[in-house]
Homo-oligomer: A and B are copies of this chain.
Amino acid sequence: MSVATLATPRSRWANLLRTRELSTLFILLAEIAFFAWYLWPDGGGRHPFVNAENGLLILKYSAIYGIAAVGASMVIISGGVDLAPGAVIALTTVILGHQYLESQWSLPASILAGLGVGVLAGGLSAALVVLVRLPPFIATLGVMGITRGLAYIVTEGRFFDVSARIPPKWAPLGVPLDWIAPIVMVVLMVVFHLFMRHVQAGRAVFAVGGNETAARYTGIRVGRIKTMVYVVSAVLAALSGVILVLGQGQGKADLATGYELDIIASAVIGGASLSGGRGSVIGAVLGTLIFGVLRNALPQIPGATFYDRLIVGLVVVVIVVVDQLLARRQE
């Protein structure tokens, strides 16, 4: 085997890996370019879509999904799926609101209580998947019901108006609230990307998702790895909930209803395979941005109100189809 033959396929594979995230990035940029062109202001002047403020807006709202997608994509890579993030987000906002307003806890303590929701929900999912060996879909569907159910029980249809006690221009550590969500999202994305690539436990997630039996025979502690991904997923969902309640000012049981499907779709658009073993944290976050841009830009197009569901559906299909075709080309 000569060094020459070695070089070609290595860089091809490395390319492929990189391409997978690059291609998601490319789609995102294409999408942005499209809307930049489509929404170009007729008379010149300020561009309604391409401006710093709007960029921040997209990031801020996408982060609610994006932070949760970091964990959800890890679950998918491990060969599972997590349907609970939306409900965990909601219960976190409710518990935080309840502790802060009703139980008069301090804000940090209330935030910890909110994150505790993530630990418990993730622990329950993990227990059901690892110990009872339920299929992840049904285990997390159950946890989704239980979590959201608790949120309804605590609120009884009311909401906790946290905005009453958080000053509107509040800037913890000097960072404006609006910046926090995007920053947290990017930091988590980088940290967990490195984790999945360079840390043994992260590599093991790929192994477990690729071939669970082989992972067991290889001495990987499959149970621990799975427990880890479900707990991380739920804790990040809870973190997203914390940011949601601080940013939006409300703890409410119906928040983030149905977001789990958007989050899963984002991860898949970003290259994750629902049969496990493949995916990327960065890709998943980029996936949420692709949807975030849609949610932001569609309302800017007069008359699009009734079309947004269709467009989102079409975008999901088209992106994944194009991706599939590109992947086949490359083979």
Contact = CB atoms under 8 A, between A and B. Distances in A.
Interface of A: 81, 83, 128, 132-135, 137-139, 141-150, 152-153, 156-157, 258, 261, 264-265, 268, 273-275, 306-314, 316-317, 320-321, 324-325
A98 to B, nearest CB: 14
A260 to B, nearest CB: 9
Nearest to A139: B317
State the copy count for this chain.
Answer: 2
A153 B273 contact: no
Q: Give the secondary structure class of A's interface.
A: helix
Contacts of A146: 310, 313-314, 317
A150 B310 contact: yes
B321 A132 contact: yes
A310 B134 contact: no
A307 to B, nearest CB: 6
Nearest to A275: B135
Contacts of A309: 145, 148-149, 152
Nearest to A324: B132
A34 to B, nearest CB: 19
B145 A310 contact: yes
A157 B306 CA distance: 8
Contact of A308 (B81, B137, B149, B268): B149
Q: Which of A134, A268, A313 has the most CB of B within 10 A?
A: A313
A138 B274 contact: yes
Q: Which of A138, A261, A310 has the most CB of B within 10 A?
A: A138
7 contacts: A81-B137, A128-B321, A132-B321, A134-B321, A141-B316, A145-B314, A147-B313
Contact of A320 (B142, B153, B325): B142
